[in-house]
Structure formats: C-alpha cells, structure tokens
Chain A
Amino acid sequence: MATSKSTKFIFRNLKSTKFLISRSINHKSSLTNSLFPRHLLHTISLPPLLNQTKPSVAYSGWFQAVYGGRRSHTATSFSDYVDQLCTEAPLQQELNFPGGKVKFTPKRIFTPGSNEERINCYRVLNENGEVIVDSDSLKISKELAVKMYTNMVTLQVMDTIFYEAQRQGRVSFYLTTIGEEAINIASAAALSDNDFIFPQYREPGVLLWRGFTLQEFANQLFGNKYDQGKGRQMPIHYGSKKHNYVTVSSTVATQIPHAVGAAYSMKMQKQDSCTITYFGDGGSSTGDFHAGLNFAAVMEVPVIFFCRNNGWAISTPISDQLRGDGIVVRGNAYGIPSIRVDGNDALAVYSAVYEARKLAIEKQTPVLIEALTYRAGHHSTSDDSTKYRPVDEIEWWREDQNPVKRFRKWIENEGWWSDQVESEHRSSIRKQLSHAIQAAERVEKPPVADMFNDVYDVPPKNLNEQELLLRENIKKHARDYPSNAAV
C-alpha cells in the first residue's frame, strides 16, 4: 500500500489521468505536507486501484466518458478540475466528485435506513367530509365537484354490475377499482385531455372521465367486433387513442418507462402537456419502475408517476413488498419532487395532481405521487382475498374509509347533492349498464381476419398462408369453432 505517497505525487498522478485515485486517499497516510487536514484523510478509504502503478485503460476511458460528455461541473477541463480541487478542497473541506461537490465529515455516520417519522400524508377532507382548516386545496366549482362525484358513483356501479356479469359467466374475467374511486376520478379530473395516460389496469375511471362510454367498456369486456382491441385481450384491457389512453397490458409496471419516453417527445415538441403513468405498490418493485424514474430525472421530462399504494399486490402485503417509508421517499433518491397524498380524499388527490401537472410542465420535471389507499376488492375475479386478509379489515376500509362516501358528505354539506339525485343517478347508470351488457353480448365477435391483422402493419406471407389454411380448416371442421365470429 502506498503509505508514504506525498500529496504532490497524488496530484501528479491525477494529472496523468489517474483520476480515480483522487476519489480516495490512503487511510494510513503519513503525509506531513498534506493539503488535506489529517483528520479528514483519516476518514477516507483506499480503493484497490491505488495499488496499480499505471492507470488502466478502462478507467481512463471511463473518465473520458464521464467528463467528455454533457455532464455539468464547474471546471471546464480536467486541468482546471485538478487545480480547482487543489485549491478549493482544503479550504472548503469538500471535493468536486463526479456529480458535484461533497463536503467531508470526520464522523463515521451511516444514514438511517428509514426515518423515524414517516413522511406526512397530504389531506384536505377529513373523514367527516369536512375541509381541514388551512389546507392547501384548490377551489373546485359545483359543476366540477358534481361531475367528479357522479363519475365516482358511475365507476362504483360499473364495478358492481360487471363483476356480477363475470360471476354469471357472461364475461370471462373482471377486476374492480373498489376503494380507489377517488384516485381514479380525481386524478383524471386534474389532468388535461391532451395529457397521455399510461395505465396499469386499475384505472378505468380515468377513461370513464374522458368520455369512454359504458357501451365501449362493455364491448371490450365481451371482446365483440366493436371492441377497440378487436377481442384480442382479456377483459378490462381497455385502450382508446381518441382519449389518449394507451392500451392496458397485463404485465406490471412495463408502462412506466413508456410514459417517460412519451414525455420526452412532449418536451421535444414543446407541447403544453404531460404524461401520467399509474402503477401499484407491487409495481414499484420492478426494474421498470427504477429505470423509469431514473430516466425521467436524467432526461428532465414532464411525467407524473402516480403510485396507488393500496397495500396489496394480489396476496402480498406491503410488508413483504418493500422496506423504508413506502414509495414517496424514493423520489428524493432519484432527484424527483414527490408528495404523499390520502388516496381516499378526492380533493387532496385532485389538488396534488393539478399541482404536479403544473410543476411537470412548467419546470419540465418528473413528479412522483404516492397515494395511500386500500384495495377494498379482491385482486380480480380469479382471487379470494379473504384467504389472506381479515374480513374485518376489508370491511373497515370499505365502509369507514370509503372515498366515495367521504366526497359525498362534502358535496352534500356544500348543498350540491341530495339523496334523490343520488338514487336517480344510480338507477339511471344501472339501467344504462344493463342495456350496454345486453347490447355488447348480442354483437358478434370480430372477424377471423382480425386475428391476423395488426401483428405487423400488413400481414406478411407466413400469416397469409396460415389464414388460408385456417379458413380451409374452418370449412372442414365448422363444429370445432365458435359460430359467433365472422369467417
């Protein structure tokens, strides 16, 4: 080990591009003429690289890669950098590392894994539906409030009726948003129609808000010929170009980096819009989540990461999913402004998303929102959540923390809603849904040609051949095939 290297020697080496050595100084240095105070040096460890007499090609290449690029630092050249380091570091007890100046400390202190106090959760409406005094909430007009509430109720009724249709065997699968109605509707209400949505699969309310009709929802569930997805995907995999709602995929969190790339496009095109991507607490464990946040921060793009932390990824509780203080704290690690919000408070969700959007577009920055809530329904119709969580717990969240009820108390207190309007609305939606289901069921499936279309922009020869063979087979063995798809 280089226990007797002088500072001079070190800096000479630095100038000969042996840069990495400068990042750490010998722990047992016996420097007498050091530019660094000894108590500082003592805290710094020595990397194995100091053993090398010649800088490795790889490292000098690394240096150029880092410093030859656009990364900003105060020095304009390497020699400036070294000079700066020589003069500034001892005075300020800090070093201009790649990525910026860092102060030294003689204290061997580890940062805590998590803070004792959890990050607070932004809330506007208390559980009685009253606005909390001094809350930073935006004024919401009667018209907007009533529209938000009616959409939340529509989403609730939609879930009830479609869930029932699955139970009757009329559709093969369904997945509810129960407990997350405020997240769905209030976040949608705070966005502009030209903002692009990259959903997970528990945000149909955003599409509802944008005008996707109950009939269109039903058509997708039945996979009939009016389904935009042409019957190819499972139920609840909605998508609509008209509504800037990018089609749902069953895969988890894969949409997160897409939202970042799309936001980069908006930045480049100087559009007055942003993207928003939704995902759950489970999704925050994926590689795509981390890649997406990091890319967004580095590319400085207008994207809102909206995490619906509902506590459950199918049967996996949050305690098996992550440690530390949830999702919100990760924003800071990536350099992304972040907020935690009460996901069962529609006014808080609305205000948070509204401000996040403004921030994202004006500052061209990603924003992370963690909405705390509870998945009050089963994961899907393939799941029975009472197998892994207490019924009482589910009931408590469903009843006592119900976001729709809370919002209703508020609009009632404002004098904007009544029992009568409520029952009329529910009854009307039920009728519309019943009609939509019957109509969707009557419509035939997409034509067989749609199985082969859209694999590519135009079907290549192998698919043309396979389609011909299939048509011959259908003629020959008609009974093998469903009769409700046009051949």
Chain B
Amino acid sequence: MATNLNKFKRIGSMMFTCNHLRRLSSSPASSGVLASADAQGKSINLYTAINQALHIALDSDPRSYIFGEDVGFGGVFRCTTGLADQFGKHRVFNTPLCEQGIVGFAIGLAAMGNRAIAEIQFADYIFPAFDQIVNEAAKFRYRSGNEFNCGGLTIRAPYGAVGHGALYHSQSPEAFFCHVPGLKVVIPRSPKEAKGLLLSSIRDPNPVIFFEPKGLYRLAVEEVPEGDYTLPLSEAEVIREGSDITLVGWGAQLTTMEQACVDAEKEGISCELIDLKTLLPWDKETVEASVRKTGRLLISHEAPVTGGFGAEISASIVERCFLRLEAPVARVCGLDTPFPHVFEPFYMPTKNKILDAIKETVNF
C-alpha cells in the first residue's frame, strides 16, 4: 500500500513542484522575468491584488457594484474579502445561483451608467451566460447605433488548471469569447499585472471578460504598488528578450513557457517571450515585430489546440510574416479532449513539450 500511496502522491508532489516554481518565477526574489518591471510596494499574492483592485474600483466610483455567487462572504477564492463590510451589502452582494441572471443583470446595471463588476465563480460555469454575453453585452452598442451601451460591464472569472479540477473546474474558455466582436478579453499573468489590468478593464468603456489564472491566486507573489494604477489594454509585453524564436502566451501558461525558455538557453537557444495580456483586440504589431526579428513562432495555451486562440495568432502572423518565417508556427496546447482528472499531467502543455517544440522549430 505504501508504494501505491507514493505513486498516487507523485501526482500531487509533481504539481507542488510545478507550483513551487511558479511562485519563485513570479516573485521579485527570482530571476524576475515574469514579475512586472518597476514593482514597488508590498509583496502580495494574486487574489489579494484582485481584492485591492476591486477595493479601489468601489472606492473611486460610488456607482460601481460587485456581485456574484458567494461574493458577499468574500468569494470562494477570497477575492472579495472584506468588501461587503466596507462598502455595504447594496454594492457588494450575493446573487442567486444563475449565471445568465448575473450577466443579464450586470448588462442592465451597466446600461444605466454604472460599473457592473460581475463574478462568475468558475470560468467553466460561464456558459449559461453565453447568450447574454454574446448576443447582448457584445452587441448592445452596435445594434442600437450607440444609443445604448453596456461598457461599464466587467465579468471576472477564474480559469485554468489547478491539479485536480477535472472537467468542470479547469477549463480555459477564452477562445469562445475571442470570436465575439464587441467584447474585450483580458488575462493577467501576475499580481501586479492583475491589479493594473483589472482596473483598466473596469474603467474601459466596453464590456470586458477578465479571466483570472486561479492556479496562481495564492502561489504567485510579487511586489504590487498599493495605490491606484492601470495598465494599458491591447498592448502585449515582451517579458524576455531573445533572438532565435518568439514564444507567445498569456496567464499561468507563461510560467511554464518561461521555464522552457530558461532550459532552452542552456542549450544555446535564445527565446523571446511575449505576454499577450489582451486577447481581444490583440496586439499583432508587437508579435509581428518580434517574429520579424526571430523568424520563428511558438504559441502555447492550456485550452484545446483545435480552434484555440493560438490558431488565430498563427494565421495572422503567417499572413504578415510569411516570407520571414523559417519554420512552421508551433502550437503546444491542451489536447482535444475534455479536461481529464487523473490524466491532467498528460493533458497539459508541459515545459518539456514546449522545449521539444522550441528545438524542433529552431532546427527545422
């Protein structure tokens, strides 16, 4: 039994190792690649950074509201901790268990000139609200000739793998929403990025879906400025400079990609790593400029490879850089299966899968 217990625990310990690395790589004490530049302030984790942003949003605009399932007591990921106590239950509140209701209500609230910050408890549960998001929020401005808009709407939803979430607590559904003109889709990689991008999303005059990498809520720690600041939407960032290949990703996957970059460097391959940050509308120019320099592109995301947002990036860059490309664009992504429980380590776009693809692309 002991042997088998160890076998089972191996999955757990491997996840721990992975998470441990994540914490280091996004901490200012590490190489600092993933940490944002010019970080000043207290060292906090990602959910605390989100909490700070929400606090500022409520404090700086008396017509901002935060709501969703279990938001009142602080949310199942603690992102709304203390907000109801400070700002009152009329501005921070529980909703009935109904995602279509949450988003529909948020659209109406936003359409009256308020900032509606809606939480969907897990991105996996956003689909009952799909009609409200795709047919209502995204088209509210366009269909009315700009008579009406719901630009004050921001939908927050935790997404991605955590090691044991299986089919319904792990998904990365960003690509569905990147197919919808009228929406913005934003995904932060670290606490400082999360705070600045969330405040930009809340203040952006368009409906924004803000996916939070839930695997990093507690594990990613970095110094975050205590005050109010925003980071620009639709601007990608080169977070590691290199000359042989461009890697593009977002959210938690950047941590894994960065490890692959570090390992590739040991083998003499210089990787440039780009955090896309905003997937819709996305910053093609930054990616294009990088690929013009390196001549190679690799995209990595947790979502299934087929129809993932990597496909869009790949097609756009081939259109723009066809003659400059020295190898096919590589995609290292989740497999085309639902997100499986015990098979999660097999499903994931791991560091070594990325490293292999880097080498194959460079040696093409």
Contacts and interface: CB of A to CB of B under 8 A. Distances in A.
A285 B104 CA distance: 14
Contact of B7 (A314, A476, A482): A482
A451 B344 CA distance: 9
Interface stretch (B67-75, B139-147, B266-274): B67-75
Contact of B4 (A442, A466, A474, A476): A442
A470 B72 contact: no
Contacts of B125: 251-252
B167 A232 contact: yes
Given A232-B341, A233-B341, A482 B11 contact: yes
A150 to B, nearest CB: 29
Interface string A271-297: 000000000001101111000000000
Contacts of B124: 250-251
Given A286-B128, A320-B94, A388-B73, A476 B5 contact: no
Interface stretch (A117-125, A133-141, A167-175, A302-310): A167-175
Interface string A387-405: 1100000000000000000
B337 A463 contact: yes
A354 interface: no
A1 interface: no
B262 interface: no
A232 B343 contact: yes
B30 interface: no
Contacts of A452: 335, 337
Contact of B97 (A321, A446, A482): A321
Nearest to A234: B166
B7 A484 contact: yes
A6 interface: no
Nearest to A484: B7
Interface stretch (B231-239, B278-286, B348-356): B348-356
Contacts of A249: 167-168
A24 interface: no
Contacts of A252: 97, 125
B350 A480 contact: yes
A92 interface: no
Kindly name the residue among B11, B94, B97, B345 whose own CB sees the greatest number of chain A CB atoms within 10 A.
B97
Contacts of A84: none
Interface in A233-278: 233-234, 237, 249-253
B32 interface: no
Interface in A414-463: 438, 441-442, 444-446, 448, 450-452, 455, 462-463
B289 interface: no
A316 B70 contact: yes
B323 interface: no
B9 interface: yes
A477 B353 CA distance: 9
A15 B9 CA distance: 77
Interface in B143-186: 163-169
A223 B336 contact: no
Contact of A382 (B8, B76, B95, B347): B76
Interface residues of B, number: 51
Contact of B96 (A314, A320, A441): A320
Given A249-B168, A480-B345, A287 B7 contact: no
Contacts of A350: none
Given A285-B101, A382-B76, A451-B347, A169 B164 contact: no
B306 interface: yes
Could you say which interface size class chain A belongs to? Answer: 35 or more
B87 to A, nearest CB: 17
A462 to B, nearest CB: 5
Contacts of A474: 346
A379 to B, nearest CB: 9
Contacts, number: 154
Contacts of A482: 7, 10-11, 14, 342, 345
A314 B70 CA distance: 7
Given A316-B70, A473-B352, A282 B97 contact: yes
A232 B347 CA distance: 11
A300 to B, nearest CB: 26
A315 interface: yes
Nearest to A313: B97
Contact of B100 (A234, A287, A441): A287
Contacts of A383: 76
B12 interface: yes
B342 A445 contact: yes
Given A482-B10, A484-B8, A233 B97 contact: no
Interface in B3-56: 4-5, 7-12, 14
B352 A316 contact: no
A198 interface: no
A455 B97 contact: no
Contacts of A337: none
B328 interface: no
B168 A251 contact: yes
Contact of A232 (B76, B95, B340): B340
B321 interface: no
Contacts of A19: none
Nearest to A225: B342
Contacts of A481: 345-346
B72 A320 contact: yes
Contacts of A250: 124, 166-169
B62 interface: no
Interface string B71-94: 011101000000000000000011
Nearest to A481: B345
For the complex of A and B, list the 3 residue pairs with the smallest distance between their C-beta atoms, beginning with the closest.
Answer: A250-B168, A285-B96, A282-B97
Interface of B: 1, 4-5, 7-12, 14, 69-70, 72-74, 76, 93-98, 100-101, 124-125, 128, 163-169, 305-306, 335-338, 340-343, 345-347, 350, 352-353, 356
19 contacts: A231-B341, A232-B340, A234-B164, A234-B166, A252-B97, A314-B69, A316-B94, A382-B76, A441-B1, A450-B343, A452-B335, A462-B306, A463-B335, A470-B335, A474-B346, A477-B350, A477-B352, A482-B11, A482-B14
Interface of A: 169-170, 172-173, 222-223, 231-234, 237, 249-253, 282-283, 285-288, 313-316, 320-322, 382-383, 387-388, 438, 441-442, 444-446, 448, 450-452, 455, 462-463, 466, 470, 473-474, 476-477, 480-485
Given A231-B340, A233-B167, A316-B72, 7 more contacts: A232-B342, A234-B164, A388-B73, A448-B343, A450-B343, A451-B337, A482-B345
